[in-house]
Structure 1
Amino acid sequence: MSALTIEKIHKSYGVVETLKGIDIALESGEFLVLLGSSGCGKSTLLNIIAGLAEPTSGEILVGDRSIVGVHPKDRDIAMVFQSYALYPNLSVRRNIGFGLEMRKVPTRERERAVDETAKMLQIEPLLDRKPGQLSGGQRQRVAIGRAIVRKPKIFLFDEPLSNLDAKLRMELRTELKRLHQMMKTTIVYVTHDQIEAMTLATRIAVMRNGQVEQLDTPEAIYNKPATLYVASFVGAPPINLLHGRWTSTGVKLNGTDVTLALPRPAGNDEEDVTLGIRAESFRTHSGNVALDVTVDVAELTGPELIVTCRLGQEQKIVATLSPQAKVELGALLPLVVDTDHVHLFSPTTGKRIN
């Protein structure tokens, strides 16, 4: 039995259809990330699970129990918001334990639960402070603690790290991963940050225009993207999309004399094809096929050198190379690509060609 089942969920506001039939089943202990750009419907879906909105049609089950129409407080679900939503006049201790207090949990049991949660989140010294005396990262830990202390069946996170600076985001991301490994609770997490999705999730649902483009593990999402949208949305730097045409010897890249020796998949009758090549799939030492590109920009990040180049007159390529690589701006650079790491897509449908 799945811990959370989402079946054919539709949501419309008048004539505008925000969700167009979402189907997801989560096993107990999974960490699902809803990933997508603004307006794709991920927060709407989260709000429907929480009970803050109701679906136009469809079913949501927690275990074998339908929760459509059930009041949010009776769903056994805890939600962490982007804006912390702490009570400014209450101490950290009372903020964490407020939900238990409202449920008439005995004082001793409530204090024990708050102390255990504070220890888990490493905020024990902050229990007697008010939210106004805390940093952004500390406030978000308190908000997470308020959800954890209830020990719900499912946790919902709505972009909880987006208000934090880069260093704090990394620290709290690690804390969330550690907490999930400790508690093994089912989590649904909304973000537009692909790094958060890749590092936290056991599965990712990439959403676009109210639909799930691909639901799979982070490894499969990255290494076998189902559509052009998924391929271009996940990955930093973004995947290189090159355009070409099938010939008897492979794919001839538009605007160049280069032909990549790729076997044409059986049943594929389109003349044009889009190639996806990750930035890290290029190398500069010798190989069978080299793309002679012109270097426009070289950016050293520390562990890698990101090189932006031009291939012919029409196509741009971004490659990540060793920081020791020697490149000259405006000079020709031979980039070798491993054809085993080339992704093929239909330019008509946008779907992966296997």
Structure 2
Amino acid sequence: MSALEIRDIHKRYGEVETLKGIDIALESGEFLVLLGSSGCGKSTLLNIIAGLAEPSGGDILIGEQSILGAHPKDRDIAMVFQSYALYPNMSVARNIGFGLEMRKVPAAERDKAVRETARLLQIENLLDRKPSQLSGGQRQRVAIGRALVRNPEVFLFDEPLSNLDAKLRMEMRTELKRLHQMLKTTVVYVTHDQIEAMTLATRIAVMRDGRIEQLGTPEDIYDRPATLYVAGFVGSPPMNILDAETTGSGLKLAGSGEMLPLPATLRNAAAGRRVKIGIRPEALRLAEADASGIRLAARVEVMELTGPELVTTAKIGEERITACLPPRTAITSGSAHVFSFDEAALHLFDPESGRSLLTA
């Protein structure tokens, strides 16, 4: 039985359709991340689940029971907002326990639940403070605690880390991961940050223009992107995409005329078929004299040392590729090199539909 089921959800605002038939079934304890750029419909979908907006069509079920039409407070859902939404005049303890207070939970039981939640979030020493006396990370912990103390069926997170600096975001990602592993709660989490998606999710729904472009595990999304959009959106730096066409003997790169071996999936393709080739930057390496794999000759343009890797931009004919190399790699701007990669790292896409030719 699914903990949460989203059935053919549509949402229209006048003539504009922002959600175009969303179907997702979540088992109990899953951590689903809705990933996409601004305007793709991910927050609209979250608001429909929460009861803050009504769909134009479709249904939302929790434990096989439709929750459409139910008031948000009756949906057994807790939501953590981007803005924290804490009551400034209340202490941390009262902020965490306010929902229980509204439900007339006895004071002793409420106090016990608040202290247990504070212990889980490691904020026991903050219970007497006001939100104005807290850092951003501490405020976010309080907001999470207010949701956690209710022990709901489903947790909803709307870009909860976007207001934090990079160090705090990393710390809170770790904290959220720890809590999920400990409590095994069902979570729907909205973000445009692919690092958050990859590190937190058990499954990711990549959204685009009101539709799900791909739904799968982080490994599926990264290693087997179903479309050009997913390939370019997930990954930092993004996947290299090159134009090519089939010939009788292989794949001919449009920018340089360089030939690559023809993958098995295209062995029966007619000569002259246009394709898009995808190669992850981290799949590329400098080819030694005896290196195996597919080889590409390129001229280095720019090198950027990030610490753990040397991000290198090079030109193949008129097209550019990015390679993530070891930090001490001996290359210089303007030098010509041969890069290599394994055939398993080669992705193929149809240029018209954008769909992967490896999963078609």
TM-score, normalised relative to structure 2: 0.96
AA matched with 1:34: L
Tell me how far 1:224 sits from its aligned partner. Answer: 0.4
1:142 is matched with 142
Secondary structure in 2 matching 1:110: helix
Partner SS state of residue 2, structure 2: coil
CA contact (8 A) 2:243 2:255 kept: no
The residue number in structure 1 matching 2:287 is 285
Give the conservation status (yes or no) of the 8 Å contact 1:157–1:190.
yes
Instruction: Please point out which of 299, 312, 315 is paired with 2:317.
Output: 312
Q: Which residue of the partner structure matches residue 166 of structure 2?
A: 166
Partner of residue 44, structure 2: 44
CA positional deviation for 1:295: 1.1
Deviation at 1:309, TM superposition (A): 1.0
Query: Which amino acid is 1:229 matched to?
Result: Y
C-alpha distance in 2, partners of 1:209/1:14?
16
Give the Cα–Cα distance (whole angstroms) in 2 for the partners of residues 53 and 263 of structure 1: 47
Deviation string 1:96-142 (CA, Å, 9 cap, x unpaired) is: 00000000000000000000000000001110000000000000000
Aligned residues of 2:36 and 2:42 also touching (Cα < 8 A): yes
Indicate if the aligned counterparts of 2:36 and 2:208 stay in contact, CA closer than 8 A.
yes
Residues in 1 aligned to 2:146 and 2:294: alpha-carbon distance in whole angstroms: 57
Structure 2 residue aligned with 1:272:
274
- The alignment partner of 2:116 has SS state of helix
Instruction: Tell me which of 300, 305, 311 is aligned to 1:300.
Output: 305
How much has 1:268 moved relative to structure 2? 4.6
Moved over 4 A (4+): 266-270
Q: Give runs of aligned pairs for residues 203-222 of structure 1, distance below 5 A.
A: 203-222=203-222
CA contact (8 A) 2:22 2:211 kept: yes
Per-residue deviation, residues 38-71 of structure 1 (Å, max 9, x unmatched):
0000000000000000000101100011001110
3-state SS of the aligned residue for 2:219? helix
Q: Which amino acid aligns with 2:350?
A: S
- Aligned mates of 2:341, 2:185 — CA distance in 1: 42
Letter in 2 for 1:26: L
Report how far residue 208 of structure 1 moved. Answer: 0.3
Q: Work out the percentage of aligned pairs sharing the same amino acid.
A: 67
CA-atom RMSD, angstroms? 1.1
Q: Secondary structure at the match of 1:353?
A: coil
Please list every run of 5 or more consecutive structure 2 residues that lacks an aligned counterpart in the other structure.
none
User: Cα–Cα, structure 1 residues 40 and 263, in superposed 2: closer, same or farther, change >3 Å?
Assistant: same
Q: Distance in 2 between matches of 1:123 and 1:278?
A: 41
Contact 1:131 1:139 in 2 (8 A): yes
Which residue in the other structure is 2:111 paired with?
111
8 Å contact from structure 2 (residues 9, 19) kept in 1 = yes
Residue type of the alignment partner of 1:345: F
Cα 1:26–1:289 change in 2 (3 A) is: closer
Residue 3 of structure 1 aligns to a residue whose secondary structure is strand
Is residue 80–residue 144 contact of structure 2 (8 Å, CA) maintained in 1? yes
1:101-250 aligned within 5 A: 101-250=101-250
Point out where structure 1 has 5 or more consecutive residues left out of the alignment.
Answer: none
Whether the 8 Å contact between 2:246 and 2:262 is mirrored in structure 1 is no
Between stretches 289-298 and 241-250, larger displacement belongs to: 289-298
In the alignment, is the contact (CA less than 8 A) between 1:262 and 1:339 conserved in 2? no
Shift of 1:257: 3.2
Aligned match of 1:63: 63
Give the TM-score normalised by the residue count of structure 1.
Answer: 0.98
Residue 336 (str. 1) matches residue 340 (str. 2): yes
Query: What is the Cα deviation at residue 214 of structure 1?
Result: 0.5
Paired amino acid for 1:219: E
Distance 2:179 2:294 in 1: 47
| Cα contact 1:3–1:63 (8 A) shared by 2 | yes
Partners of 2:14 and 2:170 in 1: CA distance: 40
Conserved in 2, the CA contact under 8 Å of 1:250 and 1:264?
no
Q: Is the 2:246–2:269 contact (alpha carbons within 8 Å) kept by the matching residues of 1?
A: no
Q: CA deviation at 1:262?
A: 2.1
Report the CA distance shift for 1:264/1:273 in structure 2 as closer, same or farther (over 3 A). farther
Contact 2:118 2:145 in 1 (8 A): yes
Q: Distance in 1 between matches of 2:248 and 2:198?
A: 38
**How much has 1:264 moved relative to structure 2?**
5.2
Cα deviation, residue 250, structure 1: 1.4
